[in-house]
Amino acid sequence: MDRKKYCHIRLWITVIIAAGFLTIGTGFSRDLSASNEETYRGLKIFSDVLQIIENDYVDPVDTKELVQKAIQGMIRGLDPHSALLPPEALEDLEIDSEGEFPGIGIHITLQNDLVTVISPIEGTPAFKAGIKAKDKIIKIGGVTPKDLRDAVSKMRGPKGTSVVVTILREGVPDPIDFTLVRDIIPVESIKSMSIRPGYGYIWITNFTGNTTEDFLKALEKLESSTVPLKGLILDLRDNGGGLLNQAIKISDIFLEEGKILSIEGRHKKNSRVFKAHPDKVKRTYPIIVLINGGTASASEIVAGALQDQKRALLIGTTSFGKGSVQSVEPLRDGYALKLTIARYYTPSGRSIQAKGIEPDIVLRHKMIGDETNYDDGGMLKEKDLKNHIDANPDEKKDKKETAPDIKKEKDPATNKDKKELGKKTKMREFDYRLGPLTIEGLQSDNQVMHALEILLSYEIFKDKLKN
């Protein structure tokens, strides 16, 4: 082994140890606590193991990669949502937060090991060129994509640059080449329409930097129609979360006073209470919120706030149960640390961490006219994830606790484990909500229709009481 290289590594580890000691404070510089001595011994073992691997492993190793894997393993041992973000992952996170990205504008998934178009985004280069749902992308720029991330990376690029996308289309014998000029693609987090006069539907897909602005535009359009808005269906199903501040702002639109949520961390700087403010527009119409096992994090904040404040009725199935808050700290060389810093609590003070939000009315999703029940019982929940944190910090976990004994398979779309049910449920690979919303699509959704029936019944019952 290169002696100089090893000395550099040992020096790097020593610097880490020294930096840790500098944070201890005055009075501890001479006498190390038992905890710090244990830390030192652990890092010394790490240094020894690194040396042995470099000397004796069967193949040459990349020291930088080994150290990164060691850091990632340390962080993953904390909880499922903390992670070391390499530059490309940090870039994806920033794009999701900003609400727009440079690309061609398509939703894709992995089906039968092929990158498959779910739908083109209306008005984008892919849409204008004629790329269709279920097209199979076999090459991008003449190269076959290795996986979804690779496909996304190849299709994104500076605005104005070109990329050739080769697809296979059912019924067409030969591959088709599309030369597309990349543009700025907005991340659409809001879809809405009027189901019938006086009754609106808004689906929030995730919480990005422009979600509240787009939500208000959609809401005001529904409110300004000829017939006053008498009821709203807010769809948070399969919403995996996003920006905390956007969830708070959405909740505040419908709340006049009281708590929206509180977050509590180990340190005061990570603890805060968020309260509602009186709105210029008084919105008193009834609201029904749809949730399911894919409703997580920021979307659970909205659902929990409206439920606890008695502002909305929740319909669906129990939500995911992610009641923690993460911050992203920049590191050197384009890396970042995503770290869990706090738990959050709904207005009533309940933690939904690893528990989820229970709907007021349990109703499983089923497409009307289709015998298949789209039960989300097969989804992994927060409670199923290894190393998930407890709902409250004073709860004592069994140190030998492991994840539930679940037979798992790989979800090809995410490369993550998912529960395998004894009887598999049909996957909504081409959900009607991914394309432009239609009355026909909403009318085929039993949860949406049940919500509408409740709103209609409420209006009739309210008028009867007046008489």
Active site residues: 297, 308, 322
Q: Is 434 buried (19+), middle (13-18) or exposed (0-12) by CB count in 10 A? A: middle
Which residues 6+ apart lie within 8 Å of 341 measured at CB? Answer: 265, 266, 270, 325, 326, 327
| 296 secondary structure, DSSP code | -
Return the H-helix or E-strand segment holding 463. Answer: helix 446-466
